[in-house]
């Protein structure tokens, strides 16, 4: 019975993780659209403010207990990693690179998440798991090098920094979800960030919104509601149920969905090399899942 329950939990974890990845896949294209007309700093703090206000409402409606003192430090790490760090760094990066280019860097995120899962979550995947994770990451790094780093070194470095802080935020939030709950973790992290984000939103407020187009508003709405809140509800639950390192490999699917969105919605060029690298990276998820 325990074995069946454990297997059911892992299956649910992969399903919830997949839904989270599917939602996150629209983040970079939406950010790319929004950052064309919004200042990246304002976009970062505005999306966190909007999501924070929604999180406050959800916590009040469901009358959630306050986190304990030992849970506050991990929540601050989550806030720094996924509420501030990743959105700001990617918004800055997208001023230098296209969303199609930046999306392929997401292939590094499973490896970063797995490493922090070992460090912070106490997980111990088998050696073969690391082989497939490293292979996926090497494919992504090779793609970046083939594009010529001199053309957008700043954008690539910003994306790498974003991956590191996001991996830490994912692992820390997933470990905390085991005791606090998945949606509670992201809601409390957003709430902790809300005072600073609200003040910064007011300080960086544009002089006028008259020239902001509806696609930019749509991008802001998507990253605020889905990327910053709803996606994490499924993602943290999935990581807690199925394992940080294992379910984290589902992020290898994110470039595939993201490239499709970039090509169809933004009409950005997607080379055959991009497609080939993405397919090869996705193939690594099968091996990593088997040995996680």
Closest C-alpha among 97, 95, 82, 80 to residue 39: 95
Q: 21 falls in which pLDDT band (50, 70, 90)?
A: very high
**Cβ atoms < 10 Å from Cβ of 161:** 17
- In the structure encoding, which two tokens stand for residue 15, read together? 């399903």
Q: What is the pLDDT of residues 260-288, one digit of tens each?
A: 777 777 677 777 887 788 788 778 777 77
Q: What is the pLDDT of residues 164-210, one digit of tens each?
A: 999 999 999 999 998 898 899 999 999 999 999 999 999 999 988 98
Q: How many CA atoms lie less than 13 Å away from 29 in the CB half-sphere?
A: 24
Average pLDDT, the chain: 86
Domain locations along the chain? 2-291
Q: What is the pLDDT of residues 142-157, one digit of tens each?
A: 776 676 655 578 888 8
Which of 2-11, 13-22, 113-122, 204-213 has the lowest average pLDDT?
A: 2-11
Q: What is the pLDDT of residues 103-154, one digit of tens each?
A: 777 778 888 888 998 887 777 888 888 888 888 878 877 776 676 655 578 8
Sign of CA dihedral 51, 15, 66, 173: negative
pTM: predicted TM-score of the whole model, two decimal places: 0.85
């Amino acid at each position: 019975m325990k074995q069946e329950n454990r297997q059911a939990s892992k299956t649910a974890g992969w399903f919830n993780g997949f839904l989270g990845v599917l939602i996150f896949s629209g983040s970079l294209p939406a950010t790319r659209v929004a950052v064309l007309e919004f200042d990246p700093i304002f976009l970062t703090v505005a999306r966190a403010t909007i999501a924070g206000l929604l999180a406050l409402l959800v916590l009040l409606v469901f009358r959630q207990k306050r986190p304990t003192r030992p849970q506050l430090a991990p929540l601050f790490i989550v806030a720094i990693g996924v509420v501030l760090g990743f959105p700001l760094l990617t918004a800055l990066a997208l001023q230098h690179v296209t969303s199609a280019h930046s999306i392929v860097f997401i292939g590094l995120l499973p490896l970063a998440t797995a490493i922090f899962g070992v460090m912070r979550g106490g997980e111990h995947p088998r050696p073969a798991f690391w082989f497939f994770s490293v292979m996926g990451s090497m494919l992504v790094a090779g793609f970046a090098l083939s594009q010529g780093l001199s053309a957008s070194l700043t954008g690539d470095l910003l994306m790498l920094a974003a991956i590191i802080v996001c991996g830490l935020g994912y692992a820390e939030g997933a470990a905390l979800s085991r005791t606090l709950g998945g949606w509670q973790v992201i809601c409390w992290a957003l709430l902790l960030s809300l005072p600073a984000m609200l003040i910064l939103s007011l300080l960086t407020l544009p002089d006028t919104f008259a020239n902001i187009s509806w696609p930019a508003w749509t991008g802001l709405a998507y990253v605020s509601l889905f990327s910053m809140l709803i996606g994490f509800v499924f993602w943290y639950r999935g990581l807690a149920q199925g394992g940080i390192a294992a379910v984290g490999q589902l992020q290898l699917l994110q470039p595939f969905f993201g490239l499709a969105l970039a090509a169809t919605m933004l009409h950005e060029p997607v080379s055959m090399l991009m497609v080939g690298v993405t397919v090869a990276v996705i193939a690594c998820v099968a091996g990593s899942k088997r040995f996680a």
